Structure 1
Amino acid sequence: KLPIPARQEEDTTDPIPLSEIQKITSIPVFIQPEKDLSGNCNPKLKGEIQLPNMMIDQFSEGGEHNLQGYIPTEAAMFKTLPLGSIVLVDTNVKKYIGDGLYFLRINGFYKFRKITQLINGNYEIESDVKKEIAEELNSINFIGKVTNIWLNVKV
């Protein structure tokens, strides 16, 4: 004989109707800015992507976030960020917060770079073609930290 399962208490709380939960967020997508002939370097809006909030909450690591998408154009990061990919950047990150891929403004140019802190306290700033060592990051303007990269792969 099988035992009779104990009676479960019924949940009497009313669930939030799915129609009242914001499920999707629109994220603007820009082309990675490049300096024009006049020296201006402003991002140009290309469109938007819509993502479920469930995914966005996983990207943000439990904090406040402000996500923007960028289509990379920089040849120095062609392996990490192939043409046609979309890079999600949390623009609330305005300083180095740990090793990772950052979106930076250096000498007026917008660049994606990997930054790693070395054992001796220096920082390694790396593209796909060159590595540099810096003692400090004060001259770098942090636009944000990369949370995700979508690669455009045709199957």
Structure 2
Amino acid sequence: MSEQSIEERLKSLQIELPTVSEPAAKYANCMIVNGLLFVSGKGPAGNPKGKLGIDYTTEDGYRFARLAGLEVLAVLKDTLGSLDRVKRAVKIQGFVNAGPDFEEHHKVLNGYSDLLFEVFGESKGNHARSVLGAVSLRNNLPVVVDSIFEVDATA
């Protein structure tokens, strides 16, 4: 029996990817170097504004990180033509716009990590990661993520 394609998995999970967002300044959405695809920082669709621990809860942050992850997946699909060309997630980094007493940055970034496991499975979705608290982020976004994937760059 053949393995389910990523497109089929997205449908079974009822996940729809957003339209690819344009970079917020003068840079590329992504770059491929030696089989690694580096995705620039992406925030959640809808451009919510505010800080975790002040304006939003940890649960809100989890949802925002997941939405930012969907933005990343949209860039991958647009760049590669198919998410099946992703060999594995390598590293994700999250930046959480948080109040000074907020301590659940790691729980926020789980929103993106969980998405990668759902979409790519355990072997391709497992990744290294870092999460940092930020005193501010562009446009006052609550979360921004950037990512590195190993991809089939030959197709």
Flag whether TM exceeds 0.5 (same fold): no
Q: Which has the larger radius of gyration?
A: 1
- TM-score normalized by structure 2? 0.25
More strand by share: 1
* Larger RCO of the pair (alpha carbons < 8 Å, separation 6+): 2
